[in-house]
Amino acid sequence: MVEGLNIPFYHIPANKEIREQVEQKQLELLKEHDIDLIILVRYMQISTPKFVAANSKKIINIHHSFLPAFIGARPYDRAYDRGVKLIGATAHFVTNDWDEGPIIEQDIARVDHRSDPIN
């Protein structure tokens, strides 16, 4: 999708065992391309304080729940288990406090008893 727009794309597999090496490569690419905004979507990794500090107020996470109610992984499963009838998404700035950075925007949708975390 980005090739037609002449936008560079890099895939860097990440996990907690190689987090520092991955973030070093990411920092190099961010500098090389003079990036001023980072948006995390389904990244599912916890950034190190070093990475967050190097990009202060430049990282936005699109979180698939209505924060602060269900922080972390599998929020829709936990919301379903609690019988929640309003689900949502939250865009927030990334800080060293996981999923607790300042909220930028939120939106919600109503669900009922016929809904489950899969559909």
Q: Is 99 a catalytic residue?
A: yes
Give the integer Cα–Cα distance in Å for 48 and 6.
30
The single residue of 36, 77, 99, 112 carrying the catalytic annotation is 99
- Catalytic positions, written as ranges: 99
